[in-house]
Chains A and B, each alone.
Chain A
Amino acid sequence: MIEMTDVYKTYSNGVVAINGINVKIKAGEFVYVVGPSGAGKSTFIKMMYREESPTTGNIVVNGVSLPKIRNTKVPLFRRNIGVVFQDFKLLPTLTVYENVAFAMEVIEKTPDEIKKRVMEVLNLVGLKHKVRMLPTELSGGEQQRVSIARSIVNSPMVVIADEPTGNLDPETSWEIMNIFDEINKSGTTIVMATHNKDIVNNLKHRVIAIENGKIARDDLRGEYGYEA
């Protein structure tokens, strides 16, 4: 599903963000990526959806060898990946419904497909009753639900999340985590960078700890392992 082989990443300013990583993530897994700030978690994750490319080494995601594919093939590859961020990245002028539909429109799905699927995922994240609201009229947790709905609307094989609860209070964070858990239970692979010790230690999944661009720990049903 996701496989990195001898991956190194040096940014153009000389910073070595990833310093030799080998890892395999199987289909259907739920993986937490933890580690101190600046350890390379975001870089690790960005390389999975080809926002960044490794300086050396190979990455295969969904059978696609990312360093080798041409730029023109990236859009098609991305249609199989959902991405969720700490800051939601919603379009402020579009309603909840339109924000989710947007992800289908721009890859040219038909209006019928869109109507059906958008309501389905909004129902799944529990926002069916707020489809006409603008993001500014929603709480942070609700905005993140919209963003999650958008990330899964095209039924990706993998959902990648970079600190999705970073801006949310503990209670809301748990609501969000339960949605991710649901999505994972339906068979979708999830890779999530997080700083949330409480969640990692209680909603048990595989934990990959990154320090100084290297994997320091990799435990199935692991612990957060840092002071919060």
Chain B
Amino acid sequence: MKLNTLKRHFRESGKSLVRNGWMTFASVSAVTVTLLLVGVFFVIMMNLNHIASNVENDVEIRVHIDPAATEEIQKTLGAKIKKIAKVDSIVYSPKEKELTNMIEGMGENGEAFKLFEQDNPLRDVLVVKTKTPQDVGQVSKKIETFEYVQSVKYGKEYVDNLFNVVNIARNIGVVLIIGLLFTAMFLISNTIKITIIARRKEIEIMRLVGATNNFIRWPFFLEGLWLGVLGSIIPIGLIGVFYSNLFKYVSPKINIPFFELLPLSPFIYQISAILILLGGLIGIWGSLMSVRKFLKV
């Protein structure tokens, strides 16, 4: 395309935005509200995922070995577990160490358990880590079938519950967001339709004198793009300011294990890119939808 033509398309799209001021305002507002909600949702979801993966990475399988097992048997068992494809690492923890860990973990109250140092009721343990946290359940089931395995434990309920919460939140959010995106797109498509109707005569003449459909389409395409991109400015600004304050002032005061926010960079850049992209896409989509009807031959 020639530079002059491109300039013309930009100028025409800008003129149209100004001329249809109120419709422009309405569409941009709709995109703004949509992207603000989408942005908040993304912030929540991505942080929930982050927390979940922190927890996940800490998930381990504890294999309690039958006391009847000799040292030799313990070694073979360890080797057998190691051979399972999804197992990443395996650490042997003798029952003496298990007891010290437990006593330490209990702090003050631990004293009482020192009695057990004489006659340790605990079992030797193999601490197994899987390659991905999702494999924990499957690998545990497999290990349970091995001989000399007394019991297999992992934070099943905890992990499963967390995954459930994340999944439900994600599903609700996705439905909500798709609905919002469609609403915004619909509004944009209506705005463009009105600007097209205002320019119907112009389009008629363009077609009579032999302008191509693409030439006719361009200004509307750009107009949709502007509506979307303009609508992403406020959400990006607000979410950026809000999140960096949250990260700077609130996050350090929270002392829950695993609960830690995603670091500012690159997270807010990612969110900004996602929002601007989404804004642009719904803008373009909305405009192409409404132009299509007017260019039918």
Chain A residues engaging chain B, CB cutoff 8 angstroms: 49, 71-72, 74-79, 83, 89, 91, 102-103, 105-108, 110-111, 150, 154
- Known contacts A76-B210, A78-B207, A154-B209; A106/B201 CB under 8 A: no
- Known contacts A89-B204, A108-B5, A108-B215; A150/B209 CB under 8 A: yes
A-B residue pairs in contact (CB < 8 Å), sample of 16: A72-B213, A74-B210, A75-B207, A75-B212, A77-B210, A78-B208, A78-B209, A79-B210, A89-B204, A89-B208, A102-B205, A103-B205, A103-B209, A107-B209, A108-B2, A108-B4
**Is the CB–CB distance between A91 and B209 below 8 Å?**
no
A124 to chain B, nearest CB (A): 18
- Known contacts A71-B297, A89-B205, A91-B202; A107/B4 CB under 8 A: no
Distance of A183 Cα from B202 Cα, bound (Å)? 25
Distance of A103 Cα from B2 Cα, bound (Å)? 16
**Is the CB–CB distance between A89 and B2 below 8 Å?**
no
**Is the CB–CB distance between B213 and A75 below 8 Å?**
yes
| Given A75-B212, A89-B205: 15 more A-B contacts, CB < 8 Å | A71-B297, A72-B213, A74-B297, A75-B211, A78-B207, A78-B208, A78-B209, A89-B208, A91-B205, A103-B209, A105-B8, A106-B206, A108-B5, A150-B209, A154-B210
**Is the CB–CB distance between A83 and B5 below 8 Å?**
no
Q: Which of A71, A75, A89, A150 contacts B210 (CB 8 A)?
A: A75
Chain B residues engaging chain A, CB cutoff 8 angstroms: 2, 4-5, 8, 201-202, 204-213, 215-216, 297
Q: Which of B2, B209, B297 contacts A106 (CB 8 A)?
A: B209
Distance of A107 Cα from B209 Cα, bound (Å)? 8
**Is the CB–CB distance between A107 and B297 below 8 Å?**
no
Sorted from nearest, which 3 A-B pairs have the closest CB atoms? A78-B210, A79-B210, A106-B211
**Is the CB–CB distance between B215 and A110 below 8 Å?**
no
Which chain A positions have C-beta within 8 A of B204?
A: 89
**Is the CB–CB distance between B5 and A91 below 8 Å?**
no
Distance of A108 Cα from B193 Cα, bound (Å)? 25
Q: Which residue of A lies closest to B212 (CB)?
A: A75
Q: Which of A76, A91, A107 contacts B201 (CB 8 A)?
A: A91
Distance of A110 Cα from B8 Cα, bound (Å)? 12
Distance of A58 Cα from B205 Cα, bound (Å)? 26
**Is the CB–CB distance between A106 and B4 below 8 Å?**
no
**Is the CB–CB distance between A107 and B211 below 8 Å?**
yes
A89 to chain B, nearest CB (A): 6
Which chain A positions have C-beta within 8 A of B216?
A: 106
Distance of A78 Cα from B208 Cα, bound (Å)? 7
A98 to chain B, nearest CB (A): 12
**Is the CB–CB distance between A111 and B209 below 8 Å?**
no
**Is the CB–CB distance between A110 and B4 below 8 Å?**
yes
Which chain A positions have C-beta within 8 A of B210?
A: 74-79, 106-107, 154
**Is the CB–CB distance between B297 and A83 below 8 Å?**
no
Which chain B positions have C-beta within 8 A of A83?
A: 208
Which chain B positions have C-beta within 8 A of A74?
A: 210, 297
Which chain A positions have C-beta within 8 A of B205?
A: 89, 91, 102-103
Distance of A138 Cα from B209 Cα, bound (Å)? 23
A110 to chain B, nearest CB (A): 7
Distance of A106 Cα from B210 Cα, bound (Å)? 8
Q: Which residue of A lies closest to B5 (CB)?
A: A108
A214 to chain B, nearest CB (A): 27
Q: Which residue of A lies closest to B204 (CB)?
A: A89
Distance of A144 Cα from B120 Cα, bound (Å)? 108
Which chain A positions have C-beta within 8 A of B4?
A: 108, 110-111
Distance of A102 Cα from B4 Cα, bound (Å)? 13
Distance of A130 Cα from B211 Cα, bound (Å)? 26
Which chain B positions have C-beta within 8 A of A71?
A: 297
Which chain B positions have C-beta within 8 A of A76?
A: 210
Which chain A positions have C-beta within 8 A of B215?
A: 106-108
Which chain B positions have C-beta within 8 A of A110?
A: 2, 4
A83, A105, A111 — most chain B CB neighbours (10 Å): A105
B271 to chain A, nearest CB (A): 40
Which chain B positions have C-beta within 8 A of A89?
A: 201, 204-205, 208
A104 to chain B, nearest CB (A): 8
B201, B205, B212, B213 — most chain A CB neighbours (10 Å): B205
B214 to chain A, nearest CB (A): 9
B8, B204, B211 — most chain A CB neighbours (10 Å): B211
Q: Which residue of A lies closest to B205 (CB)?
A: A89
Q: Which residue of A lies closest to B202 (CB)?
A: A91
Distance of A107 Cα from B297 Cα, bound (Å)? 18
Which chain A positions have C-beta within 8 A of B297?
A: 71, 74
